[in-house]
Each structure stands twice: as structure tokens, then as C-alpha cells.
Amino acid sequence: MSAFDHNHLRLRVEQAAAGISRNALPPALVADAIAAGTGTLTADGALSVRTGAFTGRSPKDKFIVRDALTESRVWWENSAAMAPAQFDALIEDAMAHLAGRHVHRQDLLAGADPAHQYAVTVMTQSAWHALFIRNLLIRPGEVPRGSEAAEVTIIHVPEFQADPARHGTRTGTAIALDMSRNIVVIAGTLYAGEIKKSVFSLFNFHAPDAGVLPMHCSANVGPQGDTALFFGLSGTGKTTLSNDPARPLIGDDEHGWSEGGVFNLEGGCYAKTVRLSAEAEPEIFAATRRFATVLENVVLDGDRHVPDFDDVSLTENTRAAYPLSVLPSVAAGGIGGVPKTVVFLTADAFGVLPPIARLTPEQAVYHFLSGYTAKVAGTERGITEPQATFSACFGAPFMPLHPSVYGEMLAERLEESGAATWLLNTGWTGGGYGVGRRIDIATTRRLLSAALSGELEGVPARQDERFGFAVPRSVAGVDGRLLDPSRTWESEAAYDEAADRLAGLFRQNFVKFGAQANAAAGPRLAQAAE
């Protein structure tokens, strides 16, 4: 971990600032945002904000400092490099930008397990961004602080434009991480998700050295103490499906799996709100009506200031950021035991994967490394409709190391725990995107409940001829036709063509992992003679 003097860096920012607010509470931050004209209160007291041109992450503008620590360890095919001198210039220019301005400082924690913890200080010119990160990380006093918590400093200057010639950036936007000193500079974007994901990226780099598997997943715990993990990219249902009144939530997005069990990296939720309803997602809907919840790019209904979650005129990537404490059922301390069940979520845009399938440990690692889903509209700039994509470990943009590092750790954890692993498709059936329909959430919840309860143990299953995994032949309360996607298509030939295409894409994608990866656990193309 870093031995850099973070206190000196923070002091420099404070001494140059016109004023400093240290660990301001939500009422003060809400008032400051409103006074600055950057936020508006909804009818229920949430803070509505806009992020301008950036309504999603900018992965092509993310950089890692290339130095002695990162040179041979970072997966450079997935990460853009920045020279140490360019990063130092960026820090100095960012701090110069803050000089003479009012700065909001928040001192927070990342990591509910004191043995694997980060002391994160965020310094920003924006009150609503300070509120956002206070909602999402762990507030002081919520969990014990570890005696050796690693220091992290994030300099957040959304109105500052980086200089490509001076800073080595692509544009005026930069999310730059120095892994050796645990410093982050975020410039040229108002999208608040960049702050939380920069913390996750630091964790993903350092955690394996401490024997911890970093995971882009949600987690909850059942009545018998049975922990379940839900992997998946944005929009696949991590937050929605892990919010279950009968299963207290450990966390909705970022976790670590140590030998002792699972712990949450965060203290809040960053939930998608597009087409949110009280009927389908009551816990999340209620959270959007709490004072100081931050609503990103949610359109308000006229003078009433009531959120219109069906209005996607700004983006489909509308979000709500709120503390875990506002939810009705949360696991104490943000920790859970060794997982009993692992669920991989995918939104299959081709409409050929079954709604649920049991994976062998080898298949689990294969699908973990593949990370197949549909990239949901609005999650990244330029994405206007779902597109098939592969994102290693269900979160490649946040994985600085080669996916094989995380894959090998998952294989070890699955072997040690004996956890059952399921692939749950929350995407399309009866045809691909634009032809078929999205699998309804009630069906998905029924299938998930059957997997978590052990109901599917011993249920007769068929082996999928292309993908090799085991698909239950029947599940109480679920239309049997849905379990065999080929039966939901009007044309069997069209289904076969789409399924062969997807199987081919899996195989093509997996080539990049090299001969050491277990490609045999993946799909096999159907032979024409068959």
C-alpha cells in the first residue's frame, strides 16, 4: 500500500481554498447545492441534479499511471497509460483550479471489514458530489476503522478541463489513478459514478495481494445465514434482485470475498431508476422519496417536482444514490458468511439463453471471464440501444489486472466453499431485442427463489446442446416453454441461427484469454450434420 503523505496533499488543497467544509452533513450539503444552483429539491426532499453531456461513464478517458508498481501487473490492453510526470502535472493543475474556491471535503471509509479497508478523502468543488459520495461510501462510525486502513485521496474537479498535450489525455476529460500513491484525479465530467468506480478500481488492483477476491456484484443473506452473490453489469438486475425483504442486503454493487466471507466495499446504493415503479421495486422507489437521496438526470414533473421515472429524454441511465440505512432490510455491519450461492446475471439481447441454468465450477469460471450481457442504453456515452457485449469478470472497465488473476481466485473460492453457481438471464425470450420480449421480473424472481432455497436440487435437467450447462426441465410457477428458449421462437431455424451466432461470439471472445484458460467449459457450435 501507499506510503505517500496524503495529509500534506490534502493540507495544500485546504490552504489554497477560499473556504473548506469538512464532513458536512446532508442538510448542509443539500442547502449548498441549491444555493449554488446545481440541485433542486423534489416534492419529497430528494436532491435532483443534472450531469450535462456526461450521463454515463467515459471508459476511454480512464488512465492508470505507468510506473514500477504497475508496469508488469496492469492489464494494459484494457487500460490506458499515463506517465508519472503527466499525472503530477494533472494534480498540480487540478489543485490550482481549486485555489480560491470553496472546497467540500468528505472523510469516509471503503470496506466494511476493518482488515481490508480504505480511508478515502474526497475533495471537490461541488456540494452535490460531496453528498453523492457521502451517500455511497461508509460514513464515520458505521463500522470500526481498521488500524491499518490504506489512505486514498480523490481530487474531484468536474469543471476543470485536462490538456491532452500536457497531461497525456485523449480529451478534456480524465479519470486518472496513481496505484502506487492511491491518488485519483477526476476532471472534465460531472457524472458522479466516476468517483465511486475509481475507489473500486483501486480496490481491484490491491485486493488480490491481500488474498481478497474483488467482485462487481451485489450480495444478500437468507434467514439461515446463507450468503448469495449476484454478479452482473449495470442494468442486468443486481440491485433489483438483491433487494429482497426476506434476505437482508449486504450491498448492491461492490464486494470483497476473503477467506472469512464477504464484505461490502460501500455504504450505499447507486440504483438505476428508469421506469421505476412502487409495485415492481418498492424498496428502491421508497428510497427515491427520502430526504438527501441524489437523483441523477431524473426529469421532474413540472411545478410539482415529482420524479417522472418514465421520462428518458435526458438518458436511460437515470440513477438514485442513497445510504443503505434507508432500506428496510440490511445486513448488520455490511458483512456476510462464505457464499452458498453464486448467481451470474445476463441480459441476453439475442434471446437464446434460458432464463436459468446450473453451471459446473469450470463453466462458472468460463462465464465469469466472459461476462456476457447486453450493454444497456445510457450506461456509457454513445450507447442508444442494447448491444451484445463481453466484459470480463462482469466489470472489465474496473479490473486493472488481467482477468485470469480474478478467475483463478474465483475458482479457488468456489472449490473451498462448494457454492452452487447459476446463470440467470434477465434479457429477452421469443426472439432477440426488437422482436422478442423481456423476461418479466416476476418470473425471474420465482426462478431465483427456487435456486436460493435449494428447490432445484435434484430436479431433472437437460444439458443444453450448444452451451453445455444444465437447464431445469420444470420449475413450479414457471411456464415450461420458457425454460427451453427454442420453443418460444416462431421459427426454429431462426432460433438455431441466433444461438449458433452467440455460441460463436463466446468462442471468439474467449480466444484473448489464451491457451491456459479452460475454453472447453464454454459453448460448442452445433454441427450442420446434426
Residue of 42, 239, 273, 443 marked active site? 239
Active-site residue, selected from the candidate residues 6, 10, 57, 105? 57
Burial of 170: CB neighbours in 10 Å, binned 0-12, 13-18, 19+: middle
Dist. CA 162–CA 172, nearest whole Å: 4
Ramachandran region, residue 195 (left: φ > 0; alpha: ψ -120 to 50; beta: rest): alpha
Cβ-proximal residues to 530 (8 Å cutoff; 6+ apart), any chain: none
Write the CA distances from 148 to 113, 137, 157, 419, integer angstroms: 12, 18, 28, 31
Residues in contact with 127: Cβ distance below 8 Å, sequence separation at least 6, in sequence order: 21, 24, 29, 30, 32, 33, 36, 38, 39, 104
Distance, C-alpha 49 to centroid of its chain? 21
336 CB neighbour count, 10 Å cutoff: 29
Residue type, 40: T
Q: What is the DSSP letter of 526?
A: P
Q: Clarify whether 22 is annotated catalytic.
A: no
- Distance, in Å, from the CA atom of 451 to the CA atom of 466, rounded to the nearest integer, reads 22
Q: C-alpha 14: how far from its chain's center?
A: 32
Cα dist. 462→425, 467, 472, 476 in Å?
Answer: 17, 11, 6, 16
> One of 178, 252, 253, 464 is an active-site residue; which one?
253
Quick one: how many helices (H) and strands (E) in the chain?
12, 30
Amino acid of residue 517: A
Residue 378 · residue 60 · CB < 8 Å:
no
Task: Determine whether 239 is an active site residue.
Answer: yes
Active-site residue among 58, 189, 234, 421? 234
Whether 197 is a known active-site residue: answer yes
What is the distance between the alpha carbons of residues 489 and 430, in angstroms, rounded to a whole number?
A: 4
The verdict on whether 60 is a catalytic residue reads: no
Cell numbers 429477452: residue: 428
**Catalytic residue (choose from 238, 247, 381, 413):** 238
CA angle 240–346–307, rounded 5-degree value: 35
Q: What is the dihedral of CA 294, 103, 152, 185, to 10 degrees?
A: 90
- The conformation of residue 134, written as its DSSP 8-state character, comes to H
What grid cell was written down for 337?
458468511
* 150-161 residues labelled b (16+ CB within 10 A) or e (exposed): bbbbbbbbbebb
DSSP characters for 142-202?
SSPPPTTPEEEEEEEETTPPP-HHHH--SSS-EEEEETTTTEEEEES---THHHHHHHHHH
Eight-state DSSP code of residue 421? E
The Cα–Cα gap between 325 and 375 comes to: 30
Catalytic residue among 6, 197, 206, 375: 197
137 exposure class (CB count in 10 Å sphere: 0-12, 13-18, 19+): buried
Q: Is 340 one of the catalytic residues?
A: no
501 given a catalytic annotation: no
Q: At what angle do helices 6-16 and 84-98 cross, to 10 degrees?
A: 40
Residues with catalytic roles: 57, 197, 216, 234, 238-239, 253, 319
